[in-house]
Amino acid sequence: METAIKPFSIRDVEINPPLILSPMAGVTDISFRRLLKRRGGVGLTVSEFISVEGLTRNNPKSKRQMRFFEEERPFAVQIFGGQAERMAMAAEMAEEVGADILDVNCGCPAPKVVKHGGGSGLLRDYTRLEAILKEIKKRIRIPLTIKIRAGYYDNNINAVETAKLAEACGVEHIALHGRTKEQGYKGLANWDLVRQIKETVSVPVSGSGDVVNVEGAFARWRETRCDGILIGRGAMANPWIFRQVEDAIHGREIFQPSLEEKRAVLHEYFDMLREDMPEMAAIGKMKQLAGQFTRGLKGGALFRQAVYHSHSVDEVLNRISEYFEAMEAGRPYYGEGRPADVGEEAPVLDSCEAATVNS
């Protein structure tokens, strides 16, 4: 396809391939990241956003969110909060547990987060943002990065100014999700802002938003000349997307997973979840992935519904087997004999809000 796309470095941390698994609260936990990393093509993994209030007050959930596997490296911990001292303390903790990069969340639109000055709230309070970045910078040796939105208000797009300020404070990589806080997840991400930031600052710049296939990734690279691409929701629907983009970068035939591989990935994920959390929580997460993963697959809606109605590990496993057996035999899938009430399925989280528990 094209050869201009190459690895980049955040100081001495090489991002190769230049593809980042976008942080998603409630989704990109240690199991999901490992699942994705094993599929190939992920150049950087990032934790879910972690509350600095939780971390610095010894909240066990926040601490658990900092765990990672060696095989995930390079690995970034993303933190959120509004107090410089707490942010710096949490950054030190991330460095101590061995994270390669510390990332500051300047994008979360959840009221609970914004109210305390954190997340996208920082996009309308440069004094606070500057104080936070400078304090963190003094206290850690690993690279400091940020993930921002286009702006807080729709009528005040300030991503380029935010990027300049961040660079001046010593930030070494800027990722932009080109929607405003007000916009939430509506409409499309503005990638022209990624181009503008890339033309303005000298640190590496990556873009986020709406990349769901190889063509989309290449188009965004071509248009913006950015260094890296983040993929979030697209990876839930297609865990092989990173490998596919990497194949295209190297001019290889693009990997297409077989039905067997799709079935295996659901089992692998479920096994990891059950090792890591109580059964009901694992079933809940499984519903979430099964919902995204089978979008567009034949019989996918009925399968999602069947998994959604499962209440035990065995039920989930049986539904997976039945669905894939039907697909492999070329038979239609009828769920568990239920009528096709396909409207009901596991809710898809559409913001960091749903997973915000510690702030």
Ligand X SMILES: Cc1cc2nc3c(=O)[nH]c(=O)nc-3n(C[C@H](O)[C@H](O)[C@H](O)COP(=O)(O)O)c2cc1C
| Binding-site ranges for ligand X (CB under 6 A) | 22-27, 48-49, 78, 105, 107-108, 147, 177, 208-211, 231-234, 349-350, 352
Q: Shortest Cβ distance from residue 291 to ligand X (Å)?
A: 12
CB nearer ligand X, residue 196 or residue 359: 359
Residue 127 CB, shortest distance to ligand X, in Å, is: 22
Residue of 106, 108, 169, 352 marked active site? 108
- Residue 326: how many CB atoms within 10 A of its CB? 18
Closest separation between CB of residue 186 and ligand X, Å? 12
Residue with tokens 């999602």: 304
Q: Closer CB to ligand X, residue 295 or residue 311?
A: 295
CA atoms of 8 and 6, how far apart (whole Å): 6
CA distances from 350 to 26, 67, 152, 185, 307 (A): 10, 24, 18, 7, 20
Residues 329 and 108: their CA atoms lie apart, in Å, by 44
Residue nearest to ligand X (CB): 232
Nearest distance, CB of residue 23 and ligand X, angstroms: 4
Nearest to 205 by CA among 16, 8, 13: 8
Report the residue number, 233 or 319, with the smaller CB distance to ligand X: 233
Sole residue written with tokens 């693009």:
254
Nearer to ligand X among residue 203 and residue 326 (C-beta): 203
Shortest Cβ 223–ligand X spacing (Å): 16
What's the angle, vertex CA 53, arms to CA 48 and CA 55, rounded to 5?
A: 60
306 or 345: CB nearest ligand X? 345
Dihedral over Cα of 54, 98, 10, 85: its sign:
positive
For ligand X, give the closer residue by CB, 126 or 185.
185
State the Cα–Cα distance between residues 65 and 187, nearest whole angstrom. 30
Phi-psi region of 148 (alpha: psi -120 to 50; beta: other; left: phi over 0): beta
Q: Which residues on neighbouring strands pair with residue 78, listed in sequence order? A: 49, 103
CA 20 to each of CA 93, 220, 300, 328, 341: distance values in angstroms, whole numbers, following the listed order: 23, 14, 27, 33, 36
Asked if 243 contacts 221 with a C-beta cutoff of 8 angstroms, the reply is no
H or E, element range at 38: helix 30-39
Which DSSP letter does residue 183 get? T
For residue 270, the minimal CB distance to ligand X (Å) is: 20
State residue 15 phi and psi, 5-degree precision.
Answer: -105, 100
Sign (positive or negative) of CA dihedral 222, 227, 75, 129: negative
Q: Is 106 a catalytic residue?
A: no
347: its two tokens: 């809710």
Q: Is 281 helix (H, G, I), strand (E, B) or coil?
A: helix
Least distance between ligand X and beta carbon 356 (Å): 9
When the beta carbons of 279 and 350 are compared against ligand X, the nearer one is: 350
- 74 preceded by cis ω (within 30°)? yes
Residues noted as catalytic: 108
